Amino acid sequence: MRKTTIFIGAALAASMALTGCAKNNNNAASPGASPSASPSASATGTSSPSAPAGTVTGKTFENFGTYGFDLNNTRHVPYKGITADNVKDLGVIWSADLKTLDKDVKNGNQCYPVVVDGVAYITTSGNQVFAFDSVTGNQLWHWKPPAEQAANYSKAGIIANRGVAVGEGKVFMLTIDNTIVALDQKTGELVKQVQIADSVQGVSLENGNYETTAPVYYNGNIYIGSSGGDNGIRGFVMAYKASDLSPAWQTPFWTVPPKGQDWLANSKFQGGGAVWNPPAIDKDTGIMYFGVGNPAPDFYGKNRPGANPHTDSVVALDSKTGKLIWAKQEISHDLWDYDAAASPMILNAKVKGKTQKVVVQGGKSGQWWAWDAKTGDVIWDGVPFAKISHKEPTPEGVLVYPGVLGGENYAPETFDPATNYALIPGIEQPSLLKSAKSEAEASTPDMPGAKAFGTTMGETPANAENYGTITAIDLNTGKKVYQIKTTNPQRGGLTSTDTGLAFFGELDGKINALDIKAGKVIWTFQTAGDNIQAAPALFTVDGKTYMIFTSGGTKPKVYVFGLGGDKTQGKGGAANTGSSHAG
């Protein structure tokens, strides 16, 4: 099976935890062979090939061409090469230390790899892009932004990036300073770069906007969302023509009203509502579905009365026009930072005994929903998968579950059609929330890019137990089948296979294989100890299945695993769970 027509990019969103502005303590050496460094790209933003452009190993390829593998964001691959019987034979085929390849690569990598026709595309914090031969690790090209452009990134306070979109012979990336970059897919040369502010009014670092998200390519367009909702920006999604980066919609779809109107009539802030992660897109109907983040200020709601639609919601739009079809809110008048941060999935699943097309999403609230894809009618309403105990924040502080990290944060779910299970990555970590006493106090102009946090950051009590969970929910019944506990909060997400396995990483640098039906981890590999903050991608070359993922921490790396690879395991490193509330 050759998959060469699905070219969608990886991951929207931003999180201050475990990015280049957070501390990490992972210093062990990388296992496996590491490609030698090549000359860095110049500060002019051009690429530096280290091999003939487009050279790859192999003749037949099955891709992981999108953040969610398919447009439905299921993260479920049909590849059968890695099974419960042979998973013990997985080892490192190659690895690359990104800071060795370029000294300017920043800490805290959160990239979701995209692999197209044997080429793996990797981004870094600080907006560099690498293209590798996915089997040999040979660096094909490397692009980095001009030094004078990258120098402005610190104004955002966040420099993470979650990947690219690939389509029409180009690789698309969004930069921290709100530009769209198109690179030549074969050479990495800059084709075009445009400012989002040219088509979306008010977008700037100074106004709190930044982009850690990745674009999504579909049917001639790329689709982007807005980061920075906690800064008091006005959230949006927008479409651009992949051919020339001109606007594909007449106007953006704004997730909150204009400042001074509707429920923002008496507020000095713009309202929040960021779109942190990639939409799911139904190829049959052209409907796109995306999650929307919290209103702003986060923990101070006096001057934003009512439900604050469409914040903390899943929204369905016509992908051609950007017109609203339906929207369903998960949390009304949010005071706890309970974004619908993760990407929705579109599933053809057995529901109440019949096959039905549904949209599902788990929120930072620790609850999970399913809706009819066409109508938005609720099917499963707020199924809990985390401890839930929250009161309205006060200036003195209240302890709430989930805390500001979730629930389910940006980490994506996966769906296994054989069992009919959705697998949800969870975080069990409470926060002590202290609200502002007034709108003036809710303003935080001294923070990078921020205008409206509404309080100090949510604090985690020193004696609190922090761990992760993976919860299996049967779509047929809406009931929890099992929940396993993981050492660290789940920050990366899951990818599943047709052989009944789901792979996920942890913040202590381990990568694991879960037997989905049994609910048991059957394989664990300790990498060099770097934080794993993104889910793996699986792909095939010449019939052999491989797994690729990135690690973050202080030594951002890329790992490719395959059967028969090096089984030498690294020494474990300490995990840093951070203290962020952003999606």
Residue 59 has pLDDT above 80, yes or no: yes
Report how many domains make up the chain. Answer: 1
Lowest mean pLDDT among 19-28, 395-404, 555-564: 19-28
Beta strand 76-77 with 494-497 is: parallel
Residue 575 has pLDDT above 60, yes or no: no
Residue 540 pLDDT: 98
Among candidate residues 510, 533, 467, the one with its CA nearest the CA of residue 28 = 510
Residue 81 pLDDT: 98
345 or 460, which is more confident? 345
pLDDT band for position 8 (cuts 50, 70, 90): very low
Residue 400 inside a domain? The answer is yes
HEC string for 15-72: CCCCCCCCCCECCCCCCCCCCCCCCCCCCCCCECCCCCCCCCCCCCEECECCCCCCCC
Residue 117 inside a domain? The answer is yes
Model confidence, pTM: 0.91
What does 548-577 look like in DSSP terms, one character per residue?
Answer: EEEE-TTS-EEEEEEET-B-PPPPP-B---
Which residues share a beta bridge with 351?
354
pLDDT digits (tens, 9 = 90+) for 67-87: 999 999 999 999 999 999 999
Residue 96 pLDDT: 96
Sheet of strand 479-486: strand arrangement: 414-416, 421-428, 467-474, 479-486
Residue 49 inside a domain? The answer is no
Average pLDDT, the chain: 88
CATH number of the CATH domain containing 78 = 2.140.10.10
Residue 2 has pLDDT above 70, yes or no: no
Cα–Cα distances in angstroms (integers) from residue 124 to residues 131, 182, 550, 551, in the given order: 12, 16, 9, 10
What's the domain range around 392? 61-563
Residue 297 has pLDDT above 50, yes or no: yes
Residue 193 inside a domain? The answer is yes
pLDDT digits (tens, 9 = 90+) for 206-260: 999 999 988 999 999 999 999 998 888 999 999 999 999 999 999 999 999 999 9
Contact yes or no for 45/149 (Cβ under 8 A):
yes
pLDDT band for position 53 (cuts 50, 70, 90): low
What does 199-237 look like in DSSP terms, one character per residue?
Answer: TSTT--TTTT-B-----EEETTEEEEE-B-GGGT-B-EE
Residue 184 inside a domain? The answer is yes
Burial annotation 115-142 (CB, 10 A radius, 16+ → b, else e): bbbbbbbbbbbbbbbbbbbbbbbbbbbb
Residue 571 inside a domain? The answer is no
Over residues 149-165, the mean pLDDT reads 93
Residue 490 inside a domain? The answer is yes
Residue 11 pLDDT: 28
pLDDT band for position 367 (cuts 50, 70, 90): very high
pLDDT digits (tens, 9 = 90+) for 15-52: 333 333 332 222 222 333 333 333 333 334 656 655 45
Residue 226 inside a domain? The answer is yes
Residue 327 has pLDDT above 60, yes or no: yes
Residue 146 pLDDT: 95
Cα–Cα distances in angstroms (integers) from residue 495 to residues 289, 412, 513, in the given order: 20, 9, 10
